[in-house]
């Protein structure tokens, strides 16, 4: 290991400044005097990339020549965040960069700000993929991330005058992307449509159109591992520049149609984070990257071989399916083995079932992907044949194993009925070697409920791997103040590679001097966030107030409504004099959330939060006591400012709905206390940090199930809690819509008549716990002790640990030798 550990780069600041000057000259064509911060950013990025090049090439060589099975992480999303700071950290060039840039007359902050954040993901699942490839490289595991280089990432969110969400295209590639390297020589053909014909007793697919998949390679540098892996994102291009014949008839628009169709495939990230619609383009995207990636892996591991022995494929690489999005890769590998390489069915099946593993990230039934047979047949007719054959084989096996006909019927991969469909989660659960959920509770619910029949049949397939987050980005980069304090407290910075070392901080929670230093770091982070919020959003935030944060996609099950109703109720209490103003703990309530563009109630909740903010923030009666801010376009960069500044973290989903959550881990590691339900990874966080250091409230999964079964009536809760009633009445009567009673009528009506996620039922408990929170907050020393205990006991939630669990329980491989 030691010889591979990259020494802190021996490059001096002066040398690095020269390298930047060189890049400015030979890449950008500007002098340092003419250069703008963005030029210096591109130059510095290019220079860092060159420093990583040897390790990158060596890693690739070792991977091909060595005998360590590699991991192919197949994911429709990689939410990477900005790259420069991370690349500098991992190549040991941070200090040189700072000094060099200053020598050139620039402010390092301005230079790093010039990088445009790539938003190639929706939220948790995409960010998890980014954390995982960071950890894979840091642990020295040979791995590829495989995905799509969308031309437009997650939309840029704005708010209009009325506080409604506006979506703007995120054209992140308008500026130079110094990180991605387009490799035209390693393209792949991906075909669609057409028909399957019988030739010499064989089924032969005759597709009707193809696209060219071109890889764009990103370096994934490990932290102090000397390894640099590859993130390979595919871009779709057309083979036919345009159809000359049509062009000559001067029908230009028709002439470019095939090109437009091909390029559409990688044009845009779907901004949904759970959805029931089976959109054709989405399936095209999924097949596009799955097919190109599998072919690419064969090319990498069997270079220049016409007749490779693919029975060894599962020893070379295993693919992790990040949710069902790449599951079409299963029939694709079968097709490749059967049709392109001539293996018989059983051999192909044997290879395929050793190659794939499946991670499920949801519990919402509507988020389990299902594709109509008609659509797959049209787009991928050969794959539909293969899926049918897999289904038939499975049904036969089942019939041998059980007499329970209803069960056999329930487990069909291909359903019949009005719209015959393919259940991708079932396909993956049958064909995958392992199936895992992303937190203990979630994996248990998968086994007991969502995939129960499969887990009964294949108990050994099912396992749990609790999510994690990378401490490099979410502690070292985001929170340098706390990182320095931890290093001081532990006397080493090794915790960045072995996060369980944080445990040794625990005694320091009783050391008042240390606690005060910790409190000072938190306060400095609050000031830093307040400055940022002023600069970027024009918000005035008082850093002496409690920073109470809820950041996540806007979804009913996550229950932003619960938070905003509690804010409204508190506002009403102050206004009515029920609560004395001097008894109120001053708070700044901070929201960050994007809503799917077609999600009506989610968008209305955004509008409500914005208008509650407008009313409260302009009311002199509560000034200095209660403030609501909603920085628009929440993204990784905002997270990196906000998480270290937060004191209270809101994880208030309905129990049994949030698969894991990962911001909860980031918050605990950055010394926030969590108020949360027994849901997802909250359960494990609470177990580790201790019940005394976690604000638990609300119904449990069992209580929720019982309430559904008994029939839930939200109006009962509205009548029973006067604070809740007052809050909902204010919304209904137009307090936050200039007196208009129609604006939020659909939301109010949903609360009172449906409230599927039982926001109203948990309201009273939520209020009670908020009172406890305020009491504790009054004792800053105690509060900060608990925050330190949270940090000390959250080392388990490093994505390094998640990856080690995958290596041991799922992938059966390890670091490159
Ligand atoms: C599916 C079909 C069509 C269009 C979009 C989609 C789609 C896209 C993204 C479906 C789901 C997603 C993303 C899901 C997601 O982010 N899930 C979260 O994953 C995290 C990492 O495991 C968990 O921590 C969260 O609890 C879970 O909600």
Strands 462-464 and 434-437, by their bridges, are: parallel
Query: Which residue among 124, 287, 446 has the greatest number of ligand 1 atoms within 8 angstroms of its CB, and so is best to mutate?
Result: 124
> If 0-12 CB within 10 Å is exposed, 13-18 middle and 19+ buried, where does residue 459 land?
exposed
pLDDT of residue 394: 98
Q: Of all atoms in ligand 1, which is nearest to the CA of residue 681?
A: 24
**Catalytic site residues?**
361, 552-553, 558, 662, 666
CA–CA separation, 641 and 269 (whole Å): 25
Handedness of CA 718, 722, 728, 734 (dihedral sign): positive
Atom of ligand 1 nearest to the CA of 359: 22
Over the stretch 105-158, which tens digit does the pLDDT of each residue have? Answer: 999 999 999 999 999 999 999 999 999 999 999 999 999 999 999 999 999 999
The ligand 1 atom nearest the CA atom of 121: 9
Whose C-alpha lies nearest to ligand 1, atom 12? Answer: 273
Using the mean position of ligand 1's atoms as its centre, give its distance from the Cα of residue 282 in Å. Answer: 14
What's the pTM value of the predicted model, to 2 decimals?
0.97
CA of 125 to the centre of ligand 1 (A): 5
Whose alpha carbon is nearest atom 15 of ligand 1? Answer: 125
Cα 786 to ligand 1 centre (Å): 31
Name the residue at shortest CA distance from atom 13 of ligand 1: 273
Distance 275 CA to ligand 1 centre (A): 9
Q: What atom in ligand 1 is closest to the CA of residue 680?
A: 26
Q: CB 346: neighbour CB atoms within 10 A?
A: 9
φ/ψ of residue 205, rounded to 5: -85, 125
Q: Ligand 1, residues 73, 287, 323, 667: which to mutate, most atoms within 8 A of Cβ?
A: 323
State the distance from the centre of ligand 1 to the C-alpha of 473, rounded, in angstroms.
21
Residue closest by Cα to atom 9 of ligand 1: 273
Cα 362 to averaged position of ligand 1 atoms, centre (Å): 7
pLDDT of residue 273: 80
Tokens for 578? Answer: 């029920």
Residue 403, pLDDT score: 93
**What's the gap in Å between 525 CA and the centre of ligand 1?**
30
Residue ranges of the chain with pLDDT lower than 70? 1-8, 241-255, 275-278
So what's the pLDDT on residue 258? Answer: 72
Q: Ligand 1 centre and the CA of 398: distance in Å?
A: 31
Q: From atom 7 of ligand 1, which residue's Cα is the shortest distance away?
A: 273
Count of CB atoms situated within 10 Å of the CB of 621: 12
Cross-sheet strand order for the sheet of 626-629: 626-629, 587-592, 546-551, 648-651, 673-676, 695-696
Q: What is the pLDDT of residue 6?
A: 45
State how far the Cα of 666 lies from the Cα of 789, in Å rounded to an integer: 14
Assess: ipTM above 0.95.
yes
Residue closest by Cα to atom 19 of ligand 1: 125
Supply the residue whose CA is at minimum distance from atom 25 of ligand 1: 661
What does the pLDDT read at residue 241? 56
In percent, how much of the chain has pLDDT > 90?
93
Cα(361) to centroid(ligand 1), Å: 6
Take atom 2 of ligand 1 and give the residue whose Cα is closest.
275
The ligand 1 atom nearest the CA atom of 77: 9
Q: Which of 123, 278, 441, 656 to mutate to test the pocket of ligand 1 (most atoms within 8 A of CB)?
A: 123
Residues with a CB atom less than 6 Å from ligand 1? 122-125, 128, 270, 272-275, 282, 361, 367, 369, 438, 467, 658-662, 680
Residue 659 CA: nearest ligand 1 atom is: 26
CA of 101 to the centre of ligand 1 (A): 39
Tell me what pLDDT residue 275 has: 65
Domains in the chain and their CATH numbers? 1-65+87-114 (no CATH), 66-81+117-467+803-811 (3.40.50.2000), 523-792 (3.40.50.2000)
Pocket test for ligand 1, best of 125, 150, 435, 802 (most atoms within 8 A of CB): 125
State the DSSP string of 404-429: -HHHHHHT-SB--SSS-EEEHHHHHH
CA of 503 to the centre of ligand 1 (A): 31
- Atom index in ligand 1 nearest the CA of residue 661 equals 24
Pocket test for ligand 1, best of 127, 274, 805 (most atoms within 8 A of CB): 274
- Cα 402 to Cα 397: distance, rounded to the nearest angstrom: 9
pLDDT value, residue 191: 96
Which H/E stretch holds residue 22?
helix 13-23
Long-range Cβ contact pairs of 178-182 (< 8 A, separation 24 or more): 178/41, 178/42, 178/45, 178/46, 178/49, 179/45, 179/49, 179/83, 179/87, 179/218, 179/219, 180/149, 180/216, 180/217, 180/218, 180/233, 181/216, 181/217, 181/218, 182/214, 182/215, 182/216, 182/235
Take atom 21 of ligand 1 and give the residue whose Cα is closest. 125
Question: What atom in ligand 1 is closest to the CA of residue 127?
Answer: 21
């Amino acid at each position: 290991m030691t010889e591979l550990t990259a020494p802190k780069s021996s490059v001096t600041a002066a040398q690095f400044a020269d390298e930047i000057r060189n890049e400015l000259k030979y890449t950008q064509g500007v002098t340092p005097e003419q250069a703008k911060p963005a030029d210096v950013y591109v130059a510095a990025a290019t220079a860092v990339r060159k420093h990583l090049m040897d390790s990158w090439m060596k890693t690739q060589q070792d991977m091909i020549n060595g005998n360590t099975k590699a991991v192919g992480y197949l994911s429709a999303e990689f939410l990477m965040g900005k790259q420069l700071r991370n690349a500098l950290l991992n190549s040991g060039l941070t200090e040189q960069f700072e000094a060099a840039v200053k020598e050139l007359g620039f402010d390092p902050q301005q230079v790093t700000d010039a990088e445009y954040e790539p938003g190639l993901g929706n939220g948790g699942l995409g960010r998890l993929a980014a954390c995982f490839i960071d950890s894979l490289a840091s642990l020295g595991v040979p791995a590829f991330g495989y995905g799509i280089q969308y031309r437009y990432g997650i939309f840029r969110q704005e708010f209009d005058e009325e506080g409604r969400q506006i979506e703007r295209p995120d054209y992140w590639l308008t500026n130079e992307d110094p990180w991605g390297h387009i490799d035209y020589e390693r393209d792949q053909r991906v075909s669609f449509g057409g028909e399957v014909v019988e030739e010499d007793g064989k089924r032969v697919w005759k597709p009707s159109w193809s696209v060219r998949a071109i890889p764009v390679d990103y370096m994934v540098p490990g932290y102090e591992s000397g390894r640099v892996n590859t993130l390979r994102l595919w871009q779709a291009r057309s083979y036919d520049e345009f159809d000359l014949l049509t062009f000559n008839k001067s029908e230009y628009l028709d002439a470019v149609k095939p090109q437009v169709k091909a390029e559409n495939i990688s044009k845009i990230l779907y901004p949904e984070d759970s959805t029931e619609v089976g959109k054709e383009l989405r399936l095209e995207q999924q097949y596009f990257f799955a097919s190109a990636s599998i072919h690419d892996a064969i090319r990498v591991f069997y270079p220049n071989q016409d007749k490779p022995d693919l029975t060894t494929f599962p020893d070379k690489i295993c693919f992790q399916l990040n949710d069902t999005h790449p599951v079409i890769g299963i029939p694709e590998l079968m097709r490749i083995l059967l049709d392109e390489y001539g293996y018989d069915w059983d051999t192909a099946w044997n290879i395929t079932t050793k190659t794939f593993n499946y991670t499920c990230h949801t519990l919402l039934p509507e988020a389990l992907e299902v594709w109509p047979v008609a659509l797959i047949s049209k787009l991928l007719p050969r794959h539909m044949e293969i899926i049918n054959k897999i289904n038939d084989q499975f049904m036969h096996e089942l019939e041998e194993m059980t007499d329970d006909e209803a069960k056999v019927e329930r487990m069909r991969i291909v359903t019949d009925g009005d719209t015959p469909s393919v259940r991708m989660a079932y396909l993956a659960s049958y064909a995958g070697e392992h199936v895992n959920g992303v937190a203990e509770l979630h994996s248990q619910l998968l086994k007991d409920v969502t995939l129960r029949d499969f887990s009964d049949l294949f108990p050994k397939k099912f396992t749990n791997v609790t999510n994690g987050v990378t401490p490099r980005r979410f502690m070292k980069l985001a929170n340098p103040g706390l990182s320095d304090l931890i290093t001081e407290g532990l006397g080493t910075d090794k915790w960045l590679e072995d996060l369980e070392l944080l445990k040794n901080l625990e005694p320091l929670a009783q050391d008042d001097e240390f606690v005060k230093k910790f409190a000072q770091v938190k306060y400095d982070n609050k000031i830093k966030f307040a400055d940022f919020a002023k600069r970027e959003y024009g918000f005035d935030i008082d850093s002496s107030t409690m920073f109470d944060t809820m950041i996540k996609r806007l979804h009913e099950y996550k229950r932003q409504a619960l938070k905003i109703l509690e804010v409204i109720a508190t506002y009403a209490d102050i206004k009515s004099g029920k609560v004395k103003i001097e008894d109120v703990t001053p708070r700044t309530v901070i929201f960050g959330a994007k809503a799917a563009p077609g999600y009506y109630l989610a968008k209305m909740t955004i509008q409500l939060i914005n208008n509650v903010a407008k009313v409260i923030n302009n009311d002199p009666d509560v000034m200095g006591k209660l403030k609501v801010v909603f920085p628009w376009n929440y993204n990784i960069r905002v997270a990196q400012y906000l998480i270290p500044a937060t004191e209270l973290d809101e994880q208030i989903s309905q129990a049994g709905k949030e698969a894991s959550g990962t911001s909860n881990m980031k918050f605990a590691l950055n010394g926030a206390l969590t108020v949360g339900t027994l849901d997802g990874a909250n359960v494990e966080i609470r177990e580790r940090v201790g019940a005394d250091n976690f604000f638990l409230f609300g119904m449990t999964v069992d209580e929720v199930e019982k309430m559904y079964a008994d029939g839930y009536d939200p109006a009962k809760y509205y009548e029973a809690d006067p604070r809740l009633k007052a809050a909902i009445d204010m919304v209904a009567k137009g307090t936050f819509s200039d007196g208009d009673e129609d604006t939020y009528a659909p939301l109010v009506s949903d609360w009172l008549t449906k409230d599927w996620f039982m926001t109203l039922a948990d309201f009273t408990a939520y209020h009670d716990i908020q009172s406890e929170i305020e009491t504790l907050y009054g004792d800053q020393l105690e509060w900060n002790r608990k925050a330190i205990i949270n940090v000390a006991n959250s080392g388990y939630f490093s994505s390094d640990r998640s990856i080690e669990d995958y290596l041991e329980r799922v992938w059966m491989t390890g670091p490159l030798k």
